[in-house]
Structure 1
């Protein structure tokens, strides 16, 4: 049953999405008409509710995917297709210690928190206080009972407090400036990841990794998500797709190869 304080996702007949937080005596207002929150409170998800103009909307609790794509934000989110790949490649699991540089709007923060569980911990850095506050606000909306994230305001180019991290994840425009700090904070065998929108940023970042001689297995990927329309004899790719959102570069920290070390 829905209760006050719950996040709710509404779908209209064209599958347009509306994300709201339920409050007693409040109203959802749109071009389709109004729905009283009290009409949703107390019913089970999967029900239909009708606006005062006669339009029917389908009501669910939002999945993580639905929440992060539709939540309030002041920065571009890392889409679920990318966050899933990041979590998999970083080998995050229950108990992982993770550093995130660039809290943004909190989409990746939410995904990491769920992946590492109560025994893990995420330290989420952002240079801007407003970004950190928005990320924390969105995080608390979806995961109000989770306490495995510490939000920090700080410049990772200058200092990362934590050591022996299992993974460090950059969502910054110039992550190459923070590679030296990451090298100190990441354990050997740990994974370093950067999410970047342009290939020239990737090139600069990869160069910075190679110069340290302590990152190996460097790999860059781009993920495209294409839905399909299935309807009788009409089976075709959908006209809309989630195309380029960014490049993801992975690497692992290693010791300097002995023959390279001796030539330094």
Structure 2
């Protein structure tokens, strides 16, 4: 009988073994010097890590425990650790922009991707998100990734096998267009979660609605506001999904040094938007959130309605205009003009103010 938190030795989670124990040949290792600079290397028997300040032999690391501190040929100290997933994603070979760790974490949590879930994704890129999804679904789950370009699929496969120490039993990757392939290869209503990282996710409405189970989650990763808006409006118009929600996350690190505790000058700000919705039961029309009616196109009538008051600006009263005119009159260049010219300018402003006020009774 196993205690809570333990795993049978004969069936460890896939990839767990390569994350434990001493360093092995072929592993990626992160070296950090005394100034905090990081370098990621792949351990090779007989290899060496060279800098302008000497070199460090790989053989000195192979067989050492994680967390070892070594000295290179010129006395420079290096701390050796296995890269965390976030480190690996940012340093791994890539053919396309990666989904940043902050967004991958949001996708896993907000889409409720759990061990054993059946997930499909499109837009594999370099495999960064695929790694997080495979960790979430586990060996008993299922991840089917679709990628149009063979080069990207090869890069993703290499990165996935690097971090898991070989092919993952829950992963299947298919070359081709998501809309066409997913309905051919997945049974209707058999998928728990759909994750799309592509230019036009609104084109996949029918395919997603076909394979996604009732209550299943569809989450989209898009880069621009126009993509976000078009996807949301397409989902609303379709009627087979719940009202979509959208957000973005920003991560700001902090500088910690004695009493000098302050936000970092740089941060990981906008990387992409996440938009999430859920599949309704077949034949059910979703509830429409009550909100002000809006149009995506402008008519002449709409343009005429764009007055300062309509867009929230406060109307400036005649009284305020007169007061401002008087203030302007009293501050004409602060005496920079000759007296007679300044008086003429004041008279002009006074005449304008009287025209606004209208005739006065004597």
Q: Give TM class, smaller chain.
A: over 0.9
| 1:131-183: CA deviation from partner (whole Å, max 9, x where unpaired) | 01100100000012531111111101333121311111011111111222111
User: How much is the aligned-residue C-alpha RMSD, in angstroms?
Assistant: 1.7
Offset of residue 13 of structure 1: 2.7
The answer as to whether partners of 1:159 and 1:181 remain within 8 angstroms in 2 is no
Between 1:81-90 and 1:3-12, the stretch displaced more is 3-12
1:178 matched residue in structure 2: 204
Relative distance call for 1:25 and 1:258 in structure 2 (3 A) is closer
User: Runs of at least 4 residues of structure 1 off by over 4 A?
Assistant: none
Structure holding more strand per residue: 1
The answer as to whether partners of 1:26 and 1:36 remain within 8 angstroms in 2 is yes
2:169 matched residue in structure 1: 147
Offset of residue 259 of structure 1: 9.2
1:22-61 equivalence runs, <5 A = 22-61=43-82
Q: Which has the higher contact order (CA 8 A, sep 6+)?
A: 1
Between 1:57-66 and 1:19-28, the stretch displaced more is 19-28
**SS in structure 2 at match of 1:230:** strand
Is 2:251 the partner of 1:229? Answer: no
Equivalent in 84, 88, 99 of residue 109 of structure 2: 88
2:128 matched residue in structure 1: 107
1:157 matched residue in structure 2: 179
CA distance in 2, matches of 1:73, 1:14: 27
CA distance in 2, matches of 1:73, 1:51: 30
CA distance in 2, matches of 1:225, 1:107: 18
Offset of residue 54 of structure 1: 3.1
**TM norm structure 2:** 0.69
Structure 1 residues not aligned, in runs of 5+: none
CA distance in 2, matches of 1:27, 1:65: 25
The answer as to whether partners of 2:241 and 2:286 remain within 8 angstroms in 1 is no
Whichever of the two has the greater Rg, that structure is 2
Aligned length, in residue pairs = 260
Structure 2 residues not aligned, in runs of 5+: 1-21, 289-362
Offset of residue 32 of structure 1: 4.5
Relative distance call for 1:229 and 1:137 in structure 2 (3 A) is same
1:189 matched residue in structure 2: 215
| 1:71-98: CA deviation from partner (whole Å, max 9, x where unpaired) | 1111111111111110111111111000
Relative distance call for 1:33 and 1:190 in structure 2 (3 A) is farther
2:155 matched residue in structure 1: 134
1:205 matched residue in structure 2: 231
Relative distance call for 1:14 and 1:197 in structure 2 (3 A) is farther
**SS in structure 2 at match of 1:223:** coil
